[in-house]
Structure 1
Amino acid sequence: MPGQFLAFGPFIFDCRRGTLFRGASPVVIGRRERALLQALLEARGEVVTKSSLMDAAWPKTNVEESNLTVQIAALRRSIGQSATGENWIATIPGVGYRLVHSTPVRQRDVAAVEAPAALDEIEPRPTIAVLPFTNMSSDPEQEYFGDGLAEDLITDLSRIPGFVVIARHSSFAYKGKPVDIRTIAKDLGVRYVIEGSVRRDADRIRISAQIIDAIGNVHLWASRFDRELESVFALQDEIVGRIVRALSGLVPPVQLMARPRATNLEAYDLFVRGRALVNQSVEGNRAGRQLLERSIALDSDFAEAYVWLAMGHLCGRVMWGEVAEPHFALALSAAERAVSLDPDNAGAHAVLGDVLLFHDRPAGVAELATALALNPNHADAWVFLGEARAYEGDAAAGIAHTVKAFSLNPYPPGWYYWYLGYVEYAAGHYEDAMTTLWHPSTHRLGSQRILAASLAQLGRAEEARAEAQQFLAAHPQFSIQSWASAQPFQHEADRQSFIDGYLKAGLPM
Structure 2
Amino acid sequence: MERRLAAVLIADVAGYTRLSRLDEEGTRARFQSDLHDILEPQFAEHHGRLVKTMGDGLLVEFRSVVDALRSAVEIQQRKAEQADKVAADRRLDFRIGINLGDIIVEGDDIHGDGVNTADRLQGLAEPGGIAISGTAYDQVRSKISVGFASLGEQTVRGIAEPIRVYRVLLDPDDVGKTIVKATTHHPARKSILIAGGLMLILALAAAWWQPWTLILPETSTERIAYPLPDQPSVAVLPFINVSGDRDHDHLAEGLTDDLITELSKVSGLFVIARHSVFAMKDSASKIQDVAAELGVHYILEGTLQRADQRLRINVKLIDAMSGLSLWAERYDRQYADLFAVQDDVIGKIIAALEVKLSEGERDQLARIPTDNLEAYDYYMRAEQQGLIYSDVDTYRQTLAFYQKAIDLDPQFADAHAGIARVAVDVWRNDYNSLWSAAVARKIAYDAAGQALKLDANNARAHTVLALLQLVDGRETEARQSAARAVAAQPSDPEAYANQALILAQTGDHQQAIADLERALRLDPSPSASLRLLAGIVYYTARDIDRAIPLIEVAGESLPNAEAAREYLASAYAQRGDRARAVAEGEALLKLFPDTNLTYYGYLYDYWREEDLNRHLYGLRTAGIPEWPFGFVGAAADRLGPAQLGALISDKTWSGQHKNGTSFMQFFDKAGNTAYRSANTNITGRIEVKGNQLCERFDGYFLDRMVCGYVYRNTAKGERSADFIHVTPQALKFFSIAQ
Report the CA distance shift for 1:453/1:145 in structure 2 as closer, same or farther (over 3 A).
same
Moved more, 259-268 or 153-162: 259-268
Work out which of the residue numbers 596, 608, 611 in structure 2 matches 1:479.
596
Pair 1:462 & 2:568 matched = no
State the match for 1:326 in structure 2.
Answer: 439
Q: CA deviation at 1:329?
A: 2.1
Q: CA deviation at 1:217?
A: 0.9
2:397 is the counterpart of 1:290: no
TM-aligned CA deviation for residue 192 of structure 1: 0.5
The one-letter amino acid paired with 1:252 is K
| In structure 2, C-alpha distance between the alignment counterparts of 1:380 and 1:223, rounded to whole Å | 31
Instruction: Provide the C-alpha distance between the structure 2 equivalents of 1:234 and 1:289, rounded to a whole number of angstroms.
Output: 28
Q: Partner amino acid for 2:506?
A: E
Query: Is 1:308 aligned to residue 418 of structure 2?
Result: yes
Asked if structure 1 preserves the Cα contact closer than 8 Å seen for 2:317 and 2:326, the reply is yes
Q: Secondary structure at the match of 2:482?
A: helix
Residue 160, structure 1, aligned to residue 276, structure 2 = no
Corresponding residue of 1:169: 275
Look up the equivalent residue of 1:427 and give its one-letter code: A
Question: Does 2:382 match 1:274?
Answer: yes
The 1:443–1:318 alpha-carbon spacing in structure 2 relative to 1, beyond 3 Å, is farther
TM normalised by structure 2 equals 0.51
Separation (CA, whole Å) in 1 of partners of 2:617 and 2:479: 27
1:131 alignment counterpart: 237
- Tell me the CA shift for residue 391 of structure 1: 1.3
Q: Tell me, in whole angstroms, the C-alpha distance in 1 between the residues paired with 2:427 and 2:524.
A: 24
Q: Does residue 496 of the first structure (1) align with residue 613 of the second (2)? A: yes
- AA partner of residue 273 (structure 1): R
The number of equivalent residue pairs is: 394
CA drift at 1:155: 0.9
**Amino acid paired to 1:383:** A
Counterpart contact for 2:260–2:273, Cα < 8 Å: yes
- Structure 1 residue 357 corresponds to structure 2 residue 470: yes
The code of the aligned residue for 1:281 comes to: S
Instruction: Decide whether aligned partners of structure 1 residues 123 and 415 sit closer, same or farther in structure 2, where only a CA change above 3 A counts.
Output: closer
Match of 1:190 in 2: 296
| CA distance in structure 1 between the partners assigned to 2:317 and 2:503 by the alignment | 38
CA contact (8 A) 2:241 2:305 kept: yes
For the residues of structure 2 that align with 1:288 and 1:212, how far apart are their CA atoms? 35
- Please state how far the C-alpha of 1:305 moved relative to its aligned partner: 1.0
Contact kept, 8 Å, 2:268 with 2:357, in 1: the verdict is: no
* Contact 2:224-2:291 at 8 Å conserved across structures: no
Which of 501, 518, 541 does residue 404 from structure 1 map onto? Answer: 518
1:252 to 356, 369, 374: 356
Query: Is this contact kept in 2: 1:332–1:356, CA < 8 A?
Result: no
Contact 2:268 2:356 in 1 (8 A): yes
State yes or no: 1:441 paired with 2:441: no
CA contact (8 A) 1:445 1:471 kept: no
Change (3 A) 1:254 1:432: closer
Q: Is the 8 A contact 1:281 1:320 kept in 2?
A: no
Question: Is the helix fraction higher in 1 or 2?
Answer: 1
What is the correspondence of 1:208-287 to structure 2 with a 5 Å cutoff?
208-248=314-354, 251-252=355-356, 254=358, 256-257=362-363, 258-279=366-387, 281-282=390-391, 283-287=393-397
Q: Distance in 2 between matches of 1:412 and 1:443?
A: 17
Change (3 A) 1:465 1:317: farther
Cα drift, residue 218 of structure 1: 0.8
Matched, 1:373 2:487: yes
CA distance in 1, matches of 2:289, 2:560: 32
Report the CA distance between 1:490 and its aligned residue: 5.7
Moved more, 168-177 or 438-447: 438-447
Matches of 1:337 and 1:429, distance apart in 2: 37
- The structural deviation recorded for 1:201 is 1.2
Q: Which amino acid is 1:396 matched to?
A: Q
Q: CA deviation at 1:206?
A: 1.3
Shift of 1:253: 5.2
**Mapping of 1:51-200 within 5 angstroms?**
125-200=231-306
Measured in 1, the distance between the counterparts of 2:299 and 2:466 equals 31
Does the 8 Å CA contact 2:225/2:294 hold for their aligned counterparts? no
Between the aligned partners of 2:593 and 2:448, the Cα distance in structure 1 is 30
Question: Does the Cα contact within 8 Å between 1:209 and 1:222 map onto a contact in 2?
Answer: yes
Cα gap change, 1:420/1:161 in structure 2, threshold over 3 Å: closer, same or farther? closer
> For 2:314, what is the secondary structure of its paired residue?
strand
| Alpha-carbon shift at residue 417 of structure 1 (Å) | 1.8
CA distance in 2, matches of 1:320, 1:216: 51
Give 3-state SS (helix, strand or coil) of 1:357's partner: helix
Q: For 1:294, give the aligned amino acid.
A: K
d(CA) in 1 for partners of 2:612, 2:516? 20
Compute the displacement of 1:286 (Å): 2.4
Q: CA deviation at 1:124?
A: 6.2
Distance 1:235 1:331, change over 3 A: same
C-alpha distance 243-32 of structure 1, shift in aligned 2 (>3 A): closer
Q: How big is the shift at 1:400?
A: 2.1
Structure 1 match to 2:569 = 452
How far off is 1:274 after superposition?
Answer: 0.8
State the alpha-carbon separation in 2 of the partners of residues 183 and 18 from structure 1.
11
Alpha-carbon distance, 1:508 to partner = 2.6
* Contact 1:233–1:262, Cα closer than 8 Å, also in 2: no
The residue number in structure 2 matching 1:413 is 527
What secondary structure does 2:604 align onto? Answer: coil
Cα offset for 1:301? Answer: 0.7
Q: Could you tell me which amino acid in structure 2 is paired with residue 210 of structure 1?
A: K
Matched residue SS, 1:422: helix
Q: Check 1:123–1:355 CA distance in 2 against 1; reply closer, same or farther (3 A cut).
A: closer
The separation in 1 between residues aligned to 2:617 and 2:537, in whole angstroms, is 16
1:404-460 deviations in Å (ceiling 9; x for gaps): 100011112222222222222223333332222111334552221010011112222
Distance 1:407 1:320, change over 3 A: farther
Render the CA deviation track for 1:259-307: whole Å, top value 9, x for unaligned.
2312212111111111111338313232111111111111111111112
Name the Cα RMSD after superposition: 2.4
User: Structure 1's 211 and 381: CA in aligned 2 closer, same or farther, altered over 3 A?
Assistant: same
Task: Answer with 378-387 or 342-351: which moved more.
Answer: 342-351
Could you tell which deviates more after superposition, 309-318 or 127-136? 309-318
Whether the 8 Å CA contact 2:452–2:458 is kept in 1: the answer is yes
Spell out, residue by residue over 1:39-67, the C-alpha distance to the aligned partner (whole angstroms, 9 max, x if none). Answer: xxxxxxxxxxxxxxxxxxxxxxxxxxxxx
Shift of 1:367: 0.8
Matching residue's letter, 2:469:
L
- Distance of 2:614 and 2:537 partners within structure 1: 12
Q: 1:409 and 1:368, CA in 2 relative to 1: closer, same or farther beyond 3 A?
A: same
Which one of 337, 344, 356 corresponds to residue 457 of structure 2? 344
Identity in percent: 32
CA 1:320/1:418 → structure 2, altered by over 3 Å: closer, same or farther? farther
Q: Which has the higher contact order (CA 8 A, sep 6+)?
A: 1
Q: What does the per-residue CA deviation read over 1:223-276, in whole Å, with 9 as the maximum and x for residues that have no partner?
A: 01121112222332222112222222xx33555331231221211111111111
Of residues 264-273 and 283-292 in structure 1, the stretch that sits farther from structure 2 once superposed is 283-292
